[in-house]
Amino acid sequence: MAKKIKATLDRRAAVNQILARRADTLVVTGLGSSCYDVGAAGDHPNTFYLWGGMGAAAMMGLGLALAQPKRQVLVITGDGEMLMGLGALATIGTQGPRNLAIVVIDNEQYSETGMQPTHTSRGVDLAGMAKAAKFPRTGTIHTQSQLKAWIPKLYAPAGPAFVAIKVNHTRYPMAIRLRDGAHIKNRFREALLGSSAFD
């Protein structure tokens, strides 16, 4: 195995930089730290926060991307959450939605349950898996300059794109109180669909 590079990027700084460019992008989070990171970057009605349903984020992004082919869809999730639904990479790769990008904030640990190591800490390469599943754009980011270069690709309709961002082990408090699922869903649909959301 290649020599391991120590992760130095900060998860919240990375998510902040990515979302600063979101414009009218539709965002889906995974549960746990990535949900809180996205909330901390600024609440938005077209963010869908998953507080449960581990393993669901990427596939939720696919359904949304297929329903809204003219809008960019960005999934921001964690390595543990992605590992729970790896089959989704094959399903998304074969569908090939150009408007879908998946960002994995990869701290190589299960942050919510006691910082147990995930398989990415043992050398499992999520971006390599996405590439093998026919994602045309994949990468693993270790540095600020790599992150800066990747951000425009997340918003370009040339996907599906997949990037793992290696981050350090800093833990942050929950920065979001909004957790009522029906409210999060209805608010998202109303912002996207207008009054037809309630037809």
Partner 1 sequence: MKAQKKPPTWPNDIYEVLKQVGIRQVAYVPDAGHTQLINSCHADRSMKVISLTTEEEGVAMLAGTWLGGERGALLLQSSGVGNCINLLSIMHECRFPLLMLVTMRGEWGEFNPWQLAMGQGTPPVLQHAGVVVQRVDRADEIREHVFAAAQLTFNTCRPVALLISQRVIGFKDWSK
Question: Which residues in this chain contact partner 1 in the complex, by CB under 8 A?
Answer: 26, 28, 48, 50-68, 85, 87-88, 90-91, 94-95, 181-182, 184-185, 188-189, 192-193, 196-197
- Give the integer Cα–Cα distance in Å for 116 and 118: 7
Q: Which is nearer to partner 1, 31 or 167 (CB)?
A: 31
118, 111 in Cβ contact below 8 A? no
29, 35 in Cβ contact below 8 A? yes
Cis amide prior to 136 (ω within 30 degrees)? no
Q: Which is nearer to partner 1, 50 or 161 (CB)?
A: 50
* Least distance CB 23 / partner 1 (angstroms): 17
* Least distance CB 181 / partner 1 (angstroms): 4
Q: Which is nearer to partner 1, 68 or 146 (CB)?
A: 68
* Least distance CB 52 / partner 1 (angstroms): 5
Q: Which is nearer to partner 1, 169 or 183 (CB)?
A: 183
* Least distance CB 29 / partner 1 (angstroms): 12
List all residues 6 or more positions away from 114 whose beta carbon is below 8 Å from its beta carbon: none
Q: Which is nearer to partner 1, 38 or 56 (CB)?
A: 56
β-pairing, 116-117 with 109-110?
A: antiparallel
* Least distance CB 53 / partner 1 (angstroms): 4
Q: In what order do the strands lie in the sheet with 73-78?
A: 47-48, 26-29, 73-78, 100-106, 161-166, 137-141
Q: Measured between alpha carbons, how far is residue 175 from residues 32, 42, 44, 87, 163 in Å?
A: 11, 9, 14, 30, 24
**Unique residue bearing structure tokens 């790599």:** 146
